[in-house]
């Protein structure tokens, strides 16, 4: 059975509380329930990890690559725009990675328009809310 990693970066543990006008009213736990249900329908398993710490995200990518995870849905949050180290970890993992953003990053502040990690990813989904994660999971679960 394929296993897809769902990797969420800083402040995503605050979903439902942090800027609900931007990120919605649902929590990270709600997202994980939704993705677990979607994974069951696709016949794949999911592994979830969230951290506010850059090194923890990098370590998890390497761990998943070594464990044979078949793909990763990545929401690097603020690190998307700032972390060369996360970019390098995505490249070094050898895994197909789909970058996901809940909000439409190109309709927001200028600094959010540049993703350091996107060039290392197989694709990017932005602005579709939690559905973006489902679409990425469906793609990787094929």
Structure tokens belonging to residue 132: 């973006």
| Residue 133 annotated among the catalytic residues of the structure | no
Structure tokens belonging to residue 52: 């506010």
Check 23, 104, 131, 133 and give the catalytic one. Answer: 23
Check 53, 81, 101, 113 and give the catalytic one. Answer: 101
∠ CA 78-63-23, rounded to 5°: 25
Strand partners, 18: none
| Residue 106 annotated among the catalytic residues of the structure | no
66 exposure class (CB count in 10 Å sphere: 0-12, 13-18, 19+): exposed
Give me the active site residues, please.
23, 101
């Amino acid at each position: 059975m394929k296993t897809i990693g769902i990797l969420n970066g800083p402040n995503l543990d605050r979903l439902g509380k942090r800027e609900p006008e931007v990120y919605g009213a649902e929590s990270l736990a709600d997202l994980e329930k939704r993705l677990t249900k979607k994974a069951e329908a696709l016949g794949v398993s999911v592994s979830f990890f969230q951290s506010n710490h850059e090194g923890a995200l990098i370590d998890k990518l390497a761990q998943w690559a070594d464990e044979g995870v078949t793909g990763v849905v990545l929401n690097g949050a603020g690190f998307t725009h700032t972390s060369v180290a996360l970019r390098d970890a995505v490249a070094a993992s050898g895994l197909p990675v789909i970058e996901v953003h809940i909000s439409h990053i190109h309709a927001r502040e200028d600094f959010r328009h540049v993703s350091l990690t996107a060039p290392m990813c197989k694709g990017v989904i932005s602005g579709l809310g939690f559905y973006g994660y489902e679409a990425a999971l469906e793609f990787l679960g094929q």
